[in-house]
Structure 1
Amino acid sequence: MNGRAQDAILALLLVALAAVYALWFAQDRHWLATQLVFTLPPLLLALGVWLRRGKAAFWAGVLALFWFSHGVMSAWSHPETAGWAWAELLLALAVIGVGSGPGLRRRFAKR
């Protein structure tokens, strides 16, 4: 897969994660706070990846570790929102995998 296709997939995953957060927290008492903390970062990173900013994919992978942990915690402690938590968890794993692909390929490429 070429770099542009990988960037498009990563941007799509980040937008999907932002959509999950926007829908999950749509009726939250602290709506603005949840949108700023959860929805805005993946959207900004998706824009950065789409514009091919150098560190956007790296930071998406780093923040995806937080999103993964949040998904595990939410799925475990709030069974009523487990569906949203599982969606977050799986999307975070996908972001980590796709975002880490170029670095792993460079690391293990034949010299």
Structure 2
Amino acid sequence: MKGRGRDALLIGLLLALACVYVAWFWQDKHWLATQVVFTAPPLLLALGTWCRRGNAPFWSGVLALFWFSHGVMSAWSHPDTAGWAWAELLLALAIIGVANAPGLQKRFKRRR
């Protein structure tokens, strides 16, 4: 998958993660804070990827490491919301894979 297709997949994953956060924290007493901290970054990164900003996929991969860690911590410590945490964790892994695919392809490309 190259170029625009990979960007479209990354945008879809980031939007899916934002939807998970909206649903997960819907009834939280600090709703606005959760939306600023959790929902806004994937939305802004999806917008940056859509506008072809060069660093947006890179920062998506970097922040996905945080999202992965948060998902592991939440799944372990809050069994009542483990489903949301697993969704976050799996989406973060997918974002890491898609964001790093171009670099991995260049690194491991066969030389003729």
Q: TM-score, normalised by structure 2?
A: 0.97
Match of 1:54 in 2: 54
Q: Matches of residues 1-111 of structure 1 in structure 2 within 5 Å?
A: 1-111=1-111
- Distance in 1 of aligned mates of 2:85 and 2:110: 39
Matched residue count: 111
Q: 1:79-103 deviations in whole A, cap 9, x for unaligned?
A: 0000000000000000000000001
**Runs of 4+ in structure 1 over 2 Å off:** none
Structure 2 alignment gaps of length 5 or more: none
Secondary structure, aligned partner of 2:96: helix
- Distance in 2 of aligned mates of 1:77 and 1:45: 28
- Distance in 1 of aligned mates of 2:62 and 2:2: 22
- Distance in 2 of aligned mates of 1:109 and 1:51: 28
The percentage of counterpart residues that share the same residue type is: 75
- Cα distance, 1:110 vs structure 2: 3.1
RMSD of aligned alpha carbons: 0.7
Q: TM-score, normalised by structure 1?
A: 0.97
- Distance in 1 of aligned mates of 2:99 and 2:51: 15
